[in-house]
Amino acid sequence: MGVTRETMDTAYVYDPIYLEHDLPSHPENARRLKHILSTLEDEGMLARLRLLEPRPATAEELQRVHTSRYIEQVQRKARTGGGYLDPDTYVCPRSFDAALMAAGGVVRAVEAVLAGEVANGFALVRPPGHHATATRAMGFCLFNNIAVAARAAMATPFPLVGGRAGDGGRVERVFIADFDVHHGNGTQDTFADAPAVFYFSSHQYPHYPGTGHWSETGNGAGKGTVLNVPLPPGVGDAGYAQVFAELVWPLAERFRPDLILVSAGYDAHWSDPLAQMNLSLTGYAWLEQELVRMAEQLCDGRIVFTLEGGYQLDVLACGVLNAFYAMLGEDIIADPIGPSPHPERPVDALVARLKEVHGLD
């Protein structure tokens, strides 16, 4: 009997070096990942998953997204003892090595999924990445892990298992979904003119970093391959579900990706200290289940999540746990915190405008 996607493992990527990028007084610190791992262990999840050991991103892989000068700047800052690259983004002596392994870790997960080594997976990496641009660190991010992985996927021919192969087996189209509460400006900048990558972001607006207006839909040949959903504070489970049903699903079906990548940030939860959104863990779990279902329907289940933000530790850990339940095909949802006590804001007018902008009638 042959190996099928139904019999393949769900994987996670982890290495202890991710804990060595750490500033305990900073919101993005090593406690975040430690809490995730301890929760996965306590819930018996780690024993059910396959560990993929990461490897450092190569210079070629990084340079598909970042300039050599910027890469050298990060390396030099780490070698000279660390410090800040911008007011929000710190570097420790081991941060450059951790950042190489973070980008390489997402690439490793993508390679394993594309080669049929595993069914799907979650890269539990730090530092996060979606704010990092070609030339600068931003918003706690050093290298843009998901952008490096997307470029790597499209640069290497893979014999795609069970699905529609691209030219010579190569991944031709990648759909990136970003549900972090902050707009992934670095990811958008990387792919704004790239018709082969669709970038979707739902984010609080106006909020850091100030980008992600609904009118930003891509440039040149990439026009129409960016969906920004700038949500006002207070939108919760119902609003996010409406966005997925009326915008994300039809645009993903139109795009027909070979691979789905997810920038998974859990700071849109109603109890997160850095934002003012209204998602519950149950709402987050529904988004994760929808993305897994989208991958199953559109690209033979090929999906990789990677860790971005989220600063309420129990929310962060349960959000990741629920992603694994979704990838394992189980309906279990861990939500010890419960629904938001705040009323939700409607999104009907925004959704209607975006349907018009993106030609969805």
Token reading at 91: 């570097």
Q: Which of 245, 226, 242, 264 is nearest to 106 (CA)?
A: 264
| Residues linked to residue 269 through DSSP beta bridges, in sequence order | 279
> In the 8-state DSSP scheme, what is residue 135?
S
> Do the beta carbons of residue 360 and residue 246 sit within 8 Å?
yes
Active site residue 131: yes
Which residue of the set 21, 66, 131, 269 is catalytic?
131
E strand intervals along the chain: 10-13, 50-52, 83-86, 89-91, 120-123, 174-178, 197-204, 226-231, 259-264, 303-307
Contacts of 257 (CB under 8 A, 6+ apart): 173, 174, 175, 198, 298, 299
> What is the Cα 29 distance to its own chain's centre?
18
Catalytic (active-site) positions: 131
